[in-house]
Amino acid sequence: MTEPPRSDPPRMRKNGHRREEPRMTVRVGVIGGGQLARMMIAPAVELGLELRVLAEDEGMSAKLAATAVGDYHDLETVRAFVRDVDVVTFDHEHVPQEVLRALVADGVQVHPGPDALQFAQDKLVMRRRMTELGIPQPDWAPVRNADELQAFIDDHNGGAVVKTPRGGYDGHGVRVVHAGAEAEDWFARLADGDALLVEELVSFTRELAQQIARRPGGEMVAYPIVETVQRDGVCAEVIAPAPEASARLAEVAEWIGRTIAEGVGVTGMLAVELFETDDERILVNELAMRPHNSGHWSQDGAVTGQFEQHLRAVADLPLGGTETRAPWTVMVNILGGPADGALEDRFAQAMTEHPDAKIHTYGKSPRPGRKVGHVNVSGADLDDVVYTARSAASQFL
């Protein structure tokens, strides 16, 4: 009988213990130097990943990991940055498709890839894909002039929401209108063949968000559905999990999130912003393919925070648990910052008065309306948690 081939014996240390082969450090490149990249730094260190950042300017939020400064619109600048990384991901969705597709053609691992990211970059493209997937969403249409917009308004109870398909965020590029002429300035700036997005003016009871993490091979995990509170088009607070969310609502939201993640082929974190309507529908508002403000609570309130989870996913590591660490976690954004002095001057007082609050700042100078940090508080009583989170955040205003 032929003997099976013998494998080489494991290399041993002098004390007789097996010597482990060193694991290659995965180098993750993040395009964009904002606060989302900044908040990936700590979990990257904990996971043994090497994080490198292409920042738009000197002194941005993620300057601690910024190994390059340059224009992400310029292909050669981006190519030079990715030369020494194993996988590329993003702080935002604004890198042009032609740059992304060139990287893929070069053999670079890009997560999420351009085929997925296009649905977060262009709201018209996203709406078409949601229709193809059978995802519940508001009535919508592309409109190219005031007459087309007026016709939509007339068919939808005299009101509508107009959006610029690309580049809008935190209330920018969104306008509630009751007459087609109210968007004439936007129509005047359209290039030939382009259109605006118009959606029905949804009557909703609250806004929700569902987060999904997905690895390249398709493994997914879902976070609890959360309630988001918007003020002036900007997320002000998040309650996790969403209060009074029935099992059926949570089930539908998770189905929506998983169906979208699979249907667009996203890798990394996916945030699905949702409306809960007066007539008990759940409708998709917008998508983000990166860590998202609606998931900041998870840094301290979940077994695996969204920034660690995103890195796990794009580096194709096993995904972490998404269970909550406490019955409630509330995130309150610090918007604007103090009128006098720096954020750092307020830490001691905030920590003294609220030792249970977890404070996260972004290294940004104060400016009215600007997101400069957030506070997370967890506990068993929702009213107490909300009060403490708001009070702690107010120390920085």
Say whether pLDDT at 120 is over 90.
Answer: yes
Say whether pLDDT at 101 is over 80.
Answer: yes
Say whether pLDDT at 362 is over 50.
Answer: yes
User: pLDDT category, 303, cuts 50, 70, 90?
Assistant: very high
Conformation bin of residue 365: beta by default, left when phi > 0, alpha when psi is -120 to 50: beta
* Domain end point (choices 110, 130, 158): 110
CA 6 to chain centre: 50
Q: What is the mean pLDDT of residues 330-342?
A: 92
Which tens digits make up the pLDDT trace of 7-40?
444 444 444 444 444 457 899 999 999 999 999 9
* 357: CATH: 3.30.470.20
SS3 319: coil
User: pLDDT category, 167, cuts 50, 70, 90?
Assistant: confident
Q: Which two tokens stand for residue 208?
A: 């929700």
What average pLDDT is seen over the chain? 93
Number of structural domains (the chain) is: 3
Which tens digits make up the pLDDT trace of 128-162?
999 999 999 999 999 999 999 999 999 999 999 99
Please indicate, yes or no, whether residues 170 and 291 belong to a single structural domain of this protein: no
> Under a CB-based contact definition with an 8 Å cutoff, are residues 335 and 234 in contact?
yes
For residue 232, the model assigns a pLDDT of: 86
For residue 339, the model assigns a pLDDT of: 85
- Contacts (Cβ under 8 Å, ≥6 apart) of 119: 125, 126, 129, 264, 287, 289
Q: Which amino acid is at 128?
A: R
For residue 308, the model assigns a pLDDT of: 98
Q: Containing domain of residue 222, as a range?
A: 204-394
Q: Which of 80, 33, 81 is nearest to 61 (CA)?
A: 33
* Domain end point (choices 70, 92, 110): 110
Predicted TM-score of the model (pTM): 0.92
Q: What is the CA radius of gyration of the chain?
A: 23
Which tens digits make up the pLDDT trace of 54-81?
999 999 999 999 999 999 999 999 999 9
Please indicate, yes or no, whether residues 302 and 195 belong to a single structural domain of this protein: no
User: What does the alpha-carbon distance between residue 106 and residue 209 come to, in Å, rounded to a whole number?
Assistant: 35
User: What does the alpha-carbon distance between residue 305 and residue 292 come to, in Å, rounded to a whole number?
Assistant: 11
User: What does the alpha-carbon distance between residue 274 and residue 250 come to, in Å, rounded to a whole number?
Assistant: 12
- Assess if residue 213 is contained within a domain: yes
Say whether pLDDT at 126 is over 60.
Answer: yes
Mark 346-365 as b/e (b = at least 16 C-beta within 10 Å): beeebeeebeebbbbbbbbe
Which tens digits make up the pLDDT trace of 239-252?
999 999 999 999 99
Percent of the chain as helix, strand, coil, to the nearest 5: 30, 25, 40
User: What does the alpha-carbon distance between residue 210 and residue 203 come to, in Å, rounded to a whole number?
Assistant: 20
> Under a CB-based contact definition with an 8 Å cutoff, are residues 181 and 162 in contact?
no
- Assess if residue 127 is contained within a domain: no
Please indicate, yes or no, whether residues 378 and 323 belong to a single structural domain of this protein: yes
Please indicate, yes or no, whether residues 210 and 287 belong to a single structural domain of this protein: yes
- Assess if residue 92 is contained within a domain: yes
**What is the distance in angstroms between the CA of the first residue and the CA of the last residue of the chain?**
81
* Domain end point (choices 200, 217, 237): 200
- Assess if residue 122 is contained within a domain: no
Q: What is the dihedral of CA 312, 316, 322, 325, to 10 degrees?
A: -30
Q: Which of 88, 129, 164, 113 is nearest to 272 (CA)?
A: 129
User: What does the alpha-carbon distance between residue 70 and residue 82 come to, in Å, rounded to a whole number?
Assistant: 12
Please indicate, yes or no, whether residues 195 and 293 belong to a single structural domain of this protein: no
User: pLDDT category, 280, cuts 50, 70, 90?
Assistant: confident
Is the model more confident about 339 or about 329?
A: 329
* 100: CATH: 3.40.50.20
Say whether pLDDT at 356 is over 80.
Answer: yes
Share of the chain above pLDDT 90, in %: 88
Beta bridge partners of 89: 30
Please indicate, yes or no, whether residues 189 and 80 belong to a single structural domain of this protein: no
User: pLDDT category, 337, cuts 50, 70, 90?
Assistant: very high
Share of the chain above pLDDT 70, in %: 93
Please indicate, yes or no, whether residues 39 and 61 belong to a single structural domain of this protein: yes
- Assess if residue 9 is contained within a domain: no
Please indicate, yes or no, whether residues 301 and 221 belong to a single structural domain of this protein: yes
